[in-house]
Amino acid sequence: MDISVILPTYCERDNIENLISAIETSLLPLGREIEILVVDDNSPDQTAEVVRAHPVRPGVQVRCFVRTQERGLATAIKYGIQRSSGDKVVVMDTDFNHSPTNIPQMVELLDEYDLVIGSRFVRGGGMEDKKRYVFSLIYNWFIQLVLWHGIRDSLSGFFAMRRQALFALDLEGIFRGYGEYFIRLTYGAFRRGEKIIELPVFYTLRQHGFSKSKFGEMLRDYTLTALSLRLTRS
C-alpha cells in the first residue's frame, strides 16, 4: 500500500460512512494504493457494522478492527498504525473536525518531509469554534515555551508521517492516554531531527454525535506531559 489512513472510532455511526467516502474521493485521483483502517472500541451504536457495509471501490481497501479488551484514543491509533502497511501514514479524527480534502497535500509533502502536521495556528489555519480556538492558541504558546521546539499546533492530532520515521519512534511510550500522545509524538520527531512542516487546516464543528473530550482531565494530562518531556530533556 502507498497510503494508510487510521480512523479511531467510538460511537461515530452517523459520521463514519460519509467520512470514508470523502477520504476515497480525495485520495483516489492520486492514483495510489490506499487502505483505510477503522479501529473501533466496540461502539454500542454499531459503528463497525456501518464500516463493514461500506461498498468496495477499486484502489481502496477498507479494514475494520473492533477492540473489546482495550479502549482509548491513543492506543487505538497505535493499534491501527501497527497493522498498517502504507509507506505514508495519515491519522485523523472521525468527527469531520479534520477535513479529508487536506490529505492529498499532506501525503505529497511527505516526499520532502518526515512529518506533516495539520495546523490551526499557521497562516491560513483556524477553527469555526472561536472560543476553543483562542484557548488552544494560548495553550500551544505554553507548550512552545516549555519545549522550545517551534511547533505551533502540538494538540492537532491530524498528521501524516513517513512510515520509516514513525516506526523509528517509541510507539509504546508515545501512544498512551488521550490526545497528549500528540505532544509526545511531535516532540519525539523534533528531538530525532526529523523534517517537520505545518500545513494550515481549518477545523469545522462536529457534524453528528458528541465529543469524548473531558476538558479538566485533558488540561491536567497535557500539562503534565509537556513538563515531563521538558524535565526529561533537562
- CB count, 10 Å around CB of 199? 21
Mean of pLDDT values over 183-208? 92
* CA quadruple 179, 34, 201, 203: dihedral sign: negative
Q: Which domain holds residue 115?
A: 3-233
Which of 69-83, 89-103, 202-216 shows the lowest per-residue confidence on average (mean pLDDT)? Answer: 202-216
DSSP state letter for 141: H
CATH number of the domain encompassing residue 40: 3.90.550.10
What's this model's pTM, rounded to 2 decimal places? Answer: 0.93
Query: Could you give the number of structural domains in the chain?
Result: 1
- pLDDT over 70 for what percent of the chain? 95
